Protein backbone atom coordinates (compact mmCIF):
# COMPACT_ATOMS: atom_id res chain seq x y z
CA UNK A 1 0.00 0.00 0.00
CA UNK A 2 1.49 3.31 -1.06
CA UNK A 3 1.55 6.44 1.02
CA UNK A 4 -1.49 8.74 1.22
CA UNK A 5 -1.58 12.12 2.90
CA UNK A 6 -4.39 14.56 3.54
CA UNK A 7 -4.43 17.74 5.59
CA UNK A 8 -7.12 19.43 7.69
CA UNK A 9 -7.22 22.39 10.07
CA UNK A 10 -8.29 22.16 13.71
CA UNK A 11 -8.13 25.34 15.82
CA UNK A 12 -5.19 26.76 13.89
CA UNK A 13 -3.29 23.48 13.87
CA UNK A 14 -2.68 21.50 10.68
CA UNK A 15 -3.34 17.79 11.06
CA UNK A 16 -1.68 15.65 8.40
CA UNK A 17 -3.43 12.29 8.21
CA UNK A 18 -0.94 9.75 6.88
CA UNK A 19 -1.66 6.20 5.75
CA UNK A 20 0.32 3.42 4.13
CA UNK A 21 4.08 3.19 4.05
CA UNK A 22 6.69 5.87 4.67
CA UNK A 23 9.63 4.34 2.85
CA UNK A 24 12.44 5.28 0.52
CA UNK A 25 11.06 6.83 -2.65
CA UNK A 26 7.53 8.09 -3.09
CA UNK A 27 6.43 7.89 0.54
CA UNK A 28 9.38 9.86 1.88
CA UNK A 29 9.15 12.45 -0.90
CA UNK A 30 5.44 13.02 -0.29
CA UNK A 31 6.05 13.57 3.40
CA UNK A 32 8.89 16.02 2.71
CA UNK A 33 6.92 17.99 0.11
CA UNK A 34 3.82 18.21 2.28
CA UNK A 35 5.65 19.55 5.33
CA UNK A 36 7.68 22.03 3.30
CA UNK A 37 4.53 23.24 1.55
CA UNK A 38 2.76 23.75 4.87
CA UNK A 39 5.68 25.71 6.30
CA UNK A 40 5.96 27.82 3.15
CA UNK A 41 2.31 28.80 3.58
CA UNK A 42 2.87 29.78 7.18
CA UNK A 43 1.33 26.70 8.81
CA UNK A 44 3.82 26.14 11.58
CA UNK A 45 1.74 24.10 14.02
CA UNK A 46 1.76 20.61 12.55
CA UNK A 47 0.54 17.24 13.78
CA UNK A 48 1.49 14.13 11.82
CA UNK A 49 -1.26 11.58 12.45
CA UNK A 50 0.49 8.24 11.86
CA UNK A 51 -2.41 6.06 12.99
CA UNK A 52 -2.77 4.40 9.59
CA UNK A 53 0.96 4.08 8.86
CA UNK A 54 1.66 0.36 8.84
CA UNK A 55 5.30 0.40 7.77
CA UNK A 56 8.26 2.72 7.96
CA UNK A 57 11.90 2.12 7.03
CA UNK A 58 15.11 3.98 7.88
CA UNK A 59 14.43 6.51 5.13
CA UNK A 60 10.97 7.14 6.57
CA UNK A 61 12.46 7.60 10.02
CA UNK A 62 14.90 10.08 8.49
CA UNK A 63 12.00 11.91 6.90
CA UNK A 64 10.21 12.24 10.24
CA UNK A 65 13.42 13.64 11.75
CA UNK A 66 13.76 16.04 8.82
CA UNK A 67 10.15 17.21 9.21
CA UNK A 68 10.70 17.76 12.93
CA UNK A 69 13.94 19.73 12.57
CA UNK A 70 12.80 21.73 9.52
CA UNK A 71 9.65 22.81 11.35
CA UNK A 72 11.58 23.69 14.49
CA UNK A 73 14.19 25.64 12.54
CA UNK A 74 11.43 27.76 11.04
CA UNK A 75 9.99 28.62 14.43
CA UNK A 76 7.25 26.02 14.29
CA UNK A 77 6.33 22.92 16.21
CA UNK A 78 5.62 19.38 15.02
CA UNK A 79 4.02 16.58 16.99
CA UNK A 80 3.37 12.92 16.21
CA UNK A 81 -0.04 11.39 16.86
CA UNK A 82 -1.40 7.83 17.12
CA UNK A 83 1.73 5.78 16.59
CA UNK A 84 1.15 2.17 15.56
CA UNK A 85 3.06 -0.43 17.54
CA UNK A 86 5.56 -0.92 14.71
CA UNK A 87 6.35 2.78 14.45
CA UNK A 88 6.40 3.14 18.24
CA UNK A 89 8.88 0.27 18.57
CA UNK A 90 11.10 1.68 15.81
CA UNK A 91 11.24 5.08 17.48
CA UNK A 92 12.08 3.37 20.76
CA UNK A 93 15.02 1.36 19.44
CA UNK A 94 16.38 4.36 17.54
CA UNK A 95 16.05 6.46 20.72
CA UNK A 96 13.87 8.97 18.88
CA UNK A 97 10.72 8.41 20.92
CA UNK A 98 11.76 10.98 23.51
CA UNK A 99 13.01 13.40 20.85
CA UNK A 100 9.59 13.73 19.27
CA UNK A 101 6.55 15.10 21.05
CA UNK A 102 4.30 12.05 20.78
CA UNK A 103 0.57 12.24 21.55
CA UNK A 104 -2.13 9.60 21.69
CA UNK A 105 -5.11 11.93 21.60
CA UNK A 106 -5.83 14.50 18.89
CA UNK A 107 -7.51 16.99 21.22
CA UNK A 108 -4.55 16.91 23.57
CA UNK A 109 -2.16 17.27 20.64
CA UNK A 110 -3.99 20.37 19.35
CA UNK A 111 -4.22 21.94 22.80
CA UNK A 112 -0.56 21.19 23.43
CA UNK A 113 0.71 23.88 21.07
CA UNK A 114 2.10 27.05 22.59
Partner 1 sequence: MEQTVSYTLDSTLDTVDHAEEKATRIATELGFAEDEVMQISMAVREGAVNAVLHGNAYAPDKKVTLAFERTPEDLVITIRDQGKGIDLNGIPNPLAPENLLKTSGRGIFLMRSFMDVVEIRPSQTGTEIKLIKHVHGASGGGKEGSQ
Does residue 103 contact residue 47 with C-beta atoms inside 8 Å? yes
Q: Work out how close the CB of 12 gets to partner 1 at its nearest, in angstroms, rounded to a whole number.
A: 26
Which range touches partner 1 (CB under 8 A), out of 8-16, 74-82, 93-101, 102-110? 93-101
Closest separation in Å from C-beta 11 to partner 1? 28
Q: Give CA–CA dist 70/64, Å, rounded.
A: 10
In the chain, beta strands by DSSP E:
4-10, 13-22, 45-56, 77-81, 101-103
- Judged by beta carbon, residue 2 or residue 107, the one nearer partner 1 is 2
58 belongs to the binding site for partner 1 (CB under 8 A): yes
Give 97's contacts (C-beta < 8 A, 6+ positions apart).
Answer: 88, 91
Q: Is 74 in the site for partner 1 (CB under 8 A)?
A: no
Which residues are at the interface with partner 1 (CB under 8 A)? Answer: 23-25, 57-59, 61-63, 65-66, 68-69, 86, 90, 93-96, 99
Amino acid sequence: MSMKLSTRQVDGVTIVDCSGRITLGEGSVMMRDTVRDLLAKGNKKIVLNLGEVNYIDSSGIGELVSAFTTTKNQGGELKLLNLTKKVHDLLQITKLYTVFDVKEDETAAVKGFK
